[in-house]
Every structure is written in structure tokens, then in C-alpha cells.
Amino acid sequence: MTREFDPTTYDVLDHIARYRIGVPEALIRTPPFADFSLARMKRTLRALADGDGEALLASAPLYGDHRYFYLTRPADAAIGESPEDQGGRRRAGALSEIAKVRAYGILAFCCLSDRPRQRLTPDEFRRTFPDHHRPGLPMTYYADHEAKRLGFVRVDSGGKGRWDRIAERVREDVERHREIPAFRDSIAAGRFELTLVAATERKAERLRPVLDEGSRASGVPVRVHVVADLIDLIAPPPRS
């Protein structure tokens, strides 16, 4: 059963449900919190985690001294979100290490880059793009409202690992989407793109020429976006 929340609380919970992870630096870059300072957002998050009664948020280590916030199960139920997404993954609770890397990569790409984007929830994707939906598709789609374009994002969780393997996965992503007629129409109209989030510029430089060549052949634009602090999650430096 849903509960009534003040607008600030609801918007915080909705954001964290959407991305499965919340950090104050990302929240203040979203429209509902345009007038929030970083200090005010940190106080808001702490209050939701430490306030009176049933806690709506909890936190866990992100990397170094940084922490992230996640929904508690009572919060997840209270805002009416399904406790599991289409792939059976929990929306509430702390994330596994690999899930944390992927969630933070998507969050940083959508909310901490120079151009805002919005991750689509599985329900939003199915409602907005019913002809595009197929069972088994990974639900990592985003909307670039400025460009009026639908995107699919993959996070490379391999750090400095082999670049050819991730290039092959991206090629498979392209072909999987090209098999669906509605996506072929979106591609032909210039309304669909893929994004690969990488942790290092060196790896991105190796991948861009290969993926650009594939884009020219497939008609699907593929961008490589670097989230520099992702490497601190994938391969944390030793503590001194």
C-alpha cells in the first residue's frame, strides 16, 4: 500500500528507486532539487536514514570514504514500486559489488555528465515503447529528452580488462535490437543509440574506433562515455 509523503521525500525515494542507488551529488543535478545545495541534500538523506520511526533509506560503502543510499524494503513498498524488476533483481537493499558498479555507472552517465538523461524504469519502458519491448531484454534504457532519443546503456565492469570482449558484447547488443522491427524503425529515424560506460579513457580510446566502424555499418550510433571514478569501485586502491 502506498503512503503519502511530502514532495521532497517522494522525489528522493523515486530517484533512488529508478537508479537503485543514490548519491547527493547526482540528486542535486536533477530538476526536483535544482535549488538544493550539496549540504542540504546530505542533511535530507541523513534524515531519511536516521529519522524517527521506520527508516526509509540506508547507506553502504561506495568507494573510499564515499557512501551511497538505497531504499529499505518498507520504503520500496511504501512508494508502490514492485519489489523486483523484470529480471528478478531486488529494488531494495544493499547492492552486490557488480550490481553497484553497474548502477553507479548508469547513474553517473545519466545524472553527472554534461547532458542530463533519465533512466527509464521497466514499467515506463513497457508503457511508452510497447512495440519495442521483448521479454528478456535488459532493462537499461534511458531517455535523452533534449535529443528526443531512446538509448540503451551498458556498463563495462571489467576495468582494465580485454577491450575486445566488451566490443563484442556491444555488437551483440546492436544486433539484438536490430532484430526487433520497432527498433529498426527507431534506428532509421535516428531515434535510438547505444552507450557504453567505461572506467578509463585508455580503454575508451581503444574501443571508439572499433565501435565507430560498427556504427557506420549498422546505422546505430554508439558512444563511449568515461566515468573516471568507476575504476575506484572496480579496482579500489589499497588503503594506506
Number of continuous H segments (helices) and E segments (strands) in the chain: 10, 7
Q: What is the pLDDT of residues 76-128, one digit of tens each?
A: 888 865 544 544 445 789 999 999 999 999 999 999 999 999 999 999 999 99
* Residue type for position 185: D
3-state SS, residue 132 = coil
Domains of the chain, residue spans: 7-95, 118-234
Q: Classify residue 199 as exposed, middle or buried by CB count within 10 Å of its CB (0-12, 13-18, 19+).
A: buried
pLDDT at 136: 85
Are residues 159 and 105 in contact, defined by beta-carbon separation less than 8 angstroms?
no
124 vs 44: CA distance, rounded Å: 27
Share of the chain above pLDDT 90, in %: 79
What are the angstrom distances between the C-alpha of 4 and each of 10, 45, 129, 226? Answer: 8, 18, 29, 39
Strand partners for 42: none
CATH class of 7-95: mainly alpha
Q: Which of 14, 134, 130 is nearest to 86 (CA)?
A: 134
Q: Classify residue 223 as exposed, middle or buried by CB count within 10 Å of its CB (0-12, 13-18, 19+).
A: middle
Are residues 144 and 186 in contact, defined by beta-carbon separation less than 8 angstroms?
no
3-state SS, residue 209 = helix
Provide the whole-model pTM. Answer: 0.92
